[in-house]
């Protein structure tokens, strides 16, 4: 899906930011489980940048 529309990329940026917040909250309060949010955060970052 290399030719994603602007609406799709905006959605991916929003999802990346949501999972980034979840990642940092888990890192602060449940630091042994922070890695659970990491794959989602990184996947949506790659999709928002248009590399996937």
For 26-49, the pLDDT digits (tens) are 999 998 998 999 999 999 999 999
In this structure, are residues 40 and 11 in contact, taking their beta carbons and an 8 Å threshold?
no
pLDDT tops 80 at residue 9: yes
Measured distance CA(30)–CA(39) in Å, rounded: 16
pTM of this prediction? Answer: 0.85
Measured distance CA(4)–CA(7) in Å, rounded: 8
Measured distance CA(20)–CA(23) in Å, rounded: 5
The confidence score (pLDDT) of residue 26 equals 95
């Amino acid at each position: 899906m290399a030719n994603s529309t602007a609406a799709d990329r905006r959605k991916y940026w929003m999802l990346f930011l949501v999972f980034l917040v979840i990642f940092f909250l888990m890192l602060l309060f449940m630091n042994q489980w922070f890695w659970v949010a990491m794959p989602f955060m990184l996947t949506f970052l790659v999709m928002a940048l248009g590399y996937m």
